[in-house]
Structure 1
Amino acid sequence: MKMSRNRHFNYTLTPTRLNSAKPQEKPYKLTDGGGLFVLIQPGGSKTWAYQYRLDGRRREVVIGRYPEIGVADARDRHAEYRAMVAQGNDPVAHKRTDDAERNARALMEADEGQFKAFSLKWLDERLGNKSDGYRAQMRSLLDRFVWAEIGRKSLDEVRPAHVLAIIEKRRDTPNTAENVRVLIQQVYNYAIQKLLVETNPALALRGVIEVPKAEHHRHLSESELGAFWRAVGKQGAHPSTTAAVKLLMYSMCRKAEVLRAKWSEIDTDKAQWDIPAERMKSRRPHRVYLSTQALELLEVQRALTGDLEYVFPSAFRANVPMADATLNHLFKRLDFGVPEFCPHGTRGTAATLLREHGFSRDVVELLLAHTERSQTAASYHHHELEADRRRAVQYLADEIERQAAISAAGNVVSIKAKST
């Protein structure tokens, strides 16, 4: 169906301009025309959307990611949505129905053995118990690197040569290449279990791309911790961003767990924060005991966001949590003498400090929410050692303050020395 005759304005965006558009510290829009635009996020994603007015209200419907949805396809969809609005119909309601039909078609196509459709089925059936973030990461790998190459092929049509071509294109990023190969292998393992194919084209390619040894996240020494804490306070970031960094260290939680914290999970009277299983990497609920400093931080934060769902909401959309990229960008800007320090390094820093100051491995492992390999040990340790864990998080917070004070005093001395 040709939609171009309905257009009475000039579109302005081109693939060249979209491809060259770089992410900035904050999201920004590139306008195409007629309410159609591309939103570019700090993390680099580019999303088509259409803004319109209906019944006196301004509304917005997401069309999809660029470049998966190209310029011409986005404009065709835009023309359809404009026609709906002209007739008094809401594109958002239409898109919900359209998405449901598309998913149903994908599942039907899966029975016919197309790789893309079957991989969608695999995502739904095999990763249903994984976190939303993990499923999104796996779908993104398929979307960016796999579907364009073999998505339309039948499962039994894909050969090792096809998989090799995919991973060879990623040779400069060996970890990504191996992740993609393993992902294809997992999809085919499931297809074999479903008796749809008999061989796995990705299995024979193990070791084709040499993956470098994993490097553990850098942790900070005590003196570096003091310098880090002072640098966070002097950065001039949004108060919620600064508070999120500090709770990251106080709680010893992962970045995603902190940024998606909800006020309903936190009981300040009991000085504890209960994270539900679905938001934990281990898929088990985790209790975080809160130090005096963490409670003071949350008291200030409640004044800012206490009437919202999330403790650390996005600065741009109050009903969604702060983006991971916000913390990543802040850590990259910090200048305290340790390059390449990342949010995950706070866990190693806190764990190392506590172990070096006499706290047991069991206590630290519980604070980190690490899963015990032994089921017997796991059942024994579940929410155990409360007193020890409370003592540990309070010691951690006190030690952070002490090291920050030492760092500040040292800085004053060095300034005086220079002046003399």
Structure 2
Amino acid sequence: MARSRHFNYTLTPTRLNNAKPQEKPYKITDGGGLYVLVMPRGAKTWIYQYSLDGKRSEVTIGRYPEIGVADARDRHTEYRAMVEQGSDPAAHKRADEAERKARAELKADEGQFKAFSIKWLEERLGSKSDGYRKQMRSLLDRFVWPDIGCKALDDVKPAHVLAIIEKRRDTPNTAENVRVLIQQVYNYAIQKLLVETNPALALRGVIQVPKAEHHRHLSESEIGAFWRAVGKQGAHPSTTAAVKLLMYSMCRKAEVLRAKWSEIDTDKAQWDIPPERMKSRRPHRVYLSTQALELLEVQRALTGDLEYVFPSAFRAVVPMADATLNHLFKRMDFGVAEFSPHGTRGTAATLLREHGFSRDVVELLLAHTERSQTAASYHHHELEAERRRALQYLADEIDRQAAISAAGNVVSIKAKSA
């Protein structure tokens, strides 16, 4: 480490101003390794020369008179302190300049729609689930960036947004989702004082969106027909098992399909889903019924040596795709049209409420985020006995309705043959 020594500065503004250029560059020493290099064309540059780890190095401070005597000596003092601490002033300056350049480039790019919308995804959707962020980025990538991604934020006009959503008129929900997405990006840009107007705001209602339909849930008799239909599709055993666990657990499709064996404790008859995989971003515990445990025992024989309980049939290292269940539900014919995987949650919740289970228990089973402070105080492990009883009742009732449906089918066949 270099040791500080006393020295006296010698240069004055008068001497520097009077220094004339010569045929070759020459130095005017100030002291302590600080000097001014005078070039043949008259340029005068402050430079600090120092020794570090046995090697002589130098760092440029800047031009005179832009950097005066006092400022140059202040910078010299900072650099000497770095050398005394074993740090290289030249490397420090290079890092500073690279950071300034990166910030300047980021600021310049930030004014473009694509760069700013990526910033919006990171800063405004950071608390959302990975699936939701990927969905929003996919909408931007497919429908927005190709048209306005390279435009400056200020250059995007309502006509540009209109052209984007008009291309999606045949799919009005997508069109409106894209418009809202652009509107949200611009809301953030306004908050950042980058723009003053929102080009998507005036286009509300241009595309008429059909009234939303809630996911259809099944009656008790329809549950039996559905359950029997699941096993008749000729689907892969893992696909059939995933549908059944969807109903037994009352979980969302993504939560079931991404289940890992490490989350399941069959001895305790429970499945702990980590917060990062839950829509609520809170951990959720599923108490497994006897039927669910039997299903998982069979499934473990198929996939127990893999990470996922329900792996893809094409790539065992990734979970089954959402579309696999969607397609299975679409081709099932059991007397109810347009029944979706999400409808299993409403079906189970309705059945339990109609058979006397409390709203608090059902809401916990659904892992809903409660607005009520009292309800929100329940943790993922609370009301265990009631939740276990509810899910076992659900599984038993499914079996009962499936048996009734099968018996009815036998009777109807006999009646036809008679």
**Normalising by the residue count of structure 2, what TM-score does the alignment of the two structures yield?**
0.73
How large is the Cα RMSD of the aligned pairs?
A: 1.6
What is the rounded CA distance, in whole Å, between the counterparts of 1:382 and 1:259 in structure 2? 20
Secondary structure class of the residue paired with 1:287:
strand
CA distance in 2, matches of 1:267, 1:184: 44
Q: 1:21-420, aligned counterparts within 5 Å?
A: 108=106, 111-380=109-378, 382-420=380-418
Alpha carbons 2:144, 2:164 under 8 Å: kept: yes
Q: Is the 8 A contact 1:110 1:117 kept in 2?
A: no
- CA distance 1:117–1:235, change in 2 (3 Å): same
Q: Report if the CA contact (8 A) 2:113-2:152 is conserved.
A: yes
What CA deviation, in whole Å up to 9, does each residue of 1:188-227 have, x standing for no partner?
Answer: 1221222211221112222222222210011111111101
Deviation at 1:168, TM superposition (A): 2.1
3-state secondary structure, aligned to 2:369: coil
Task: Give the drift of 1:272.
Answer: 0.8
The alpha carbon displacement at 1:110 in A equals 6.5
The percent of aligned pairs where both chains have the same amino acid is: 92
TM-score normalized with structure 1 length: 0.73
SS of 1:407's partner is helix
Q: Is the 8 A contact 2:247 2:345 kept in 1?
A: yes
Counterpart AA for 1:129:
S
SS of aligned partner of 2:210: coil
Query: How many aligned positions are there?
Result: 316
Distance 1:376 1:356 in 2: 23
Instruction: Report the CA distance shift for 1:382/1:242 in structure 2 as closer, same or farther (over 3 A).
Output: closer
8 A contact 1:225–1:403 mirrored in 2:
yes
Runs of 5+ unmatched residues, structure 2: 1-101
Structure 1 spans left out of the alignment, 5+ residues: 1-103
- Secondary structure of 1:196's partner? coil
Q: CA deviation at 1:268?
A: 0.8
The answer to whether the 8 Å contact 2:285/2:380 transfers is no
Provide, for residues 224-246 of structure 1, a one-character-per-residue CA deviation record: whole Å limited to 9, x for no partner: 11011011112111110000000
Report which stretch shifted further, 212-221 or 371-380: 371-380
Aligned partners of 1:230 and 1:109: how far apart in 2? Answer: 60
| Displacement after TM superposition at 1:112 (Å) | 4.1
Rg: which structure is higher?
A: 2
Deviation at 1:123, TM superposition (A): 1.4
Q: Report the Cα offset of residue 260 of structure 1.
A: 0.2
Question: 1:292 deviation in Å?
Answer: 0.4
Q: In 2, distance between residues paired with 1:382 and 1:206?
A: 40
Distance in 2 of aligned mates of 1:276 and 1:216: 28
Partner Cα distance (1:302, 1:285) in 2: 23
